[in-house]
Amino acid sequence: MATPLTADKLLLALRAEGLTVIEHRSWRTNNRNHKGPWGPTHGVMIHHTVSAGSASSVELCYNGHSALPGPLCHGVIDKAGTVHLVANGRANHAGLGDGDVLNAVVMETPLPPDNEADTDGNRYFYGFEAVNLGDGKDPWPEAQLLAIERAAAAVCRAHGWSERSVIGHLEWQPGKVDPRGFTMTSMRTKIGARLDRDPDGVAEPEKPKPTKPKPRPPAKPKPPAYEPFPGSSFFAVGRNSPVVTAMGKRLVAEGCGRYSVGPGPKWSTADRNSYAAWQRKCGYSGDAADGIPGKVSWDRLKVPNV
């Protein structure tokens, strides 16, 4: 989990990684934050534009189109390897994807198959669109591949992530094929090697070993981390998410569980009845205890991060 980088920090991180960066129009305020939360951020997603030409592709990703409003990513990487920043905040690039994949990215473990579309990726991922037709024939110049590697590494370095926090759209959402023309496994290998060096490409020197082992100070207990309120609209019929399971376990712990079996990941009538019991425990009544989570009662429940 990480707080999203500010516009200035993102720009500095990219340039520190050796990239040529162009700030496109009013990119610093171009976002879709009015449509949902942005952050906490967990990773970087790579796409191809299915378009040709730098200028037109950048405009497309900045504005979007009638079927998909922009911005469509945070940065556009052209054939020459230049990064064009087009957004700062929530962008319309990832869509709904597999919650199990998100958990693997958070834990930086091997990715499972993406066989569900139950989690909002626009909230959690930075997106880079690389200019390419995506037909398997349009070439990927070395300068462009290097820029993809550098851009992903820059964000990972800024957040302290490893290369396992970088995925392709095809690894997130069922049916997607982008990026097409290189493998994400090979790209992650390059990103990992880059993260083992400093941004100038120099391998980090080994630190001299101490002559005497120093006693370690007692580890400080980590403060508990709780799941941020995902919004009332998240709790809708058909929602399937580990967040629902974590919520149910907390309701049971608070003596508000109304489950015959469970709790489980799929939002159900039992979840709503259990949450209504929690709302009444918090002092709500009538329509205010309708079983649909609100921010105040959610924050009091303290659902652990999943």
Cα separation of 231 and 292, whole Å? 10
Whole-model pTM: value is 0.67
The reported pLDDT for the residue numbered 262 is: 79
Q: What is the pLDDT of residues 48-76, one digit of tens each?
A: 999 999 999 999 999 999 999 999 999 99
Q: Count CB neighbours of 32 within 10 A.
A: 19
Task: Using the CB atoms, write b or e for 33-48: b if 16+ within 10 Å.
Answer: eeeebbbebbbbbbbb
Report residue 193 as tokens: 């090697």
The reported pLDDT for the residue numbered 10 is: 98
The reported pLDDT for the residue numbered 208 is: 56
Amino acid letter for position 11: L
Residue 86 DSSP code: -
Q: What is the pLDDT of residues 240-282, one digit of tens each?
A: 999 999 999 999 999 999 988 879 999 999 999 999 999 999 9
Question: What is the pairing mode between strands 64-65 and 43-48?
Answer: unpaired
pLDDT of the chain along its 306 residues, tens only?
Answer: 599 999 999 999 999 999 999 999 999 999 999 999 999 999 999 999 999 999 999 999 999 999 999 999 999 999 999 999 999 999 999 999 999 999 999 999 999 999 999 999 999 999 999 999 999 999 999 999 999 999 999 999 999 999 999 999 999 999 999 999 999 999 999 999 999 987 765 554 555 555 666 677 776 666 668 899 999 999 998 899 999 999 999 999 999 999 888 799 999 999 999 999 999 999 999 998 999 999 999 999 999 988
CATH superfamily of 7-195: Peptidoglycan recognition protein-like (3.40.80.10)
Closest CA relative to residue 90, chosen from 132, 134, 40, 56: 40
Closest CA relative to residue 85, chosen from 5, 139, 163, 157: 5
Domain regions of the chain by residue span: 7-195, 232-301
Backbone angles phi, psi at 148, to 5 degrees: -60, -45
Q: Which residue has the tokens 């469970």?
A: 262
Backbone angles phi, psi at 47, to 5 degrees: -135, 170
Nearby residues of 217 by Cβ (< 8 Å), 6 or more positions away:
none
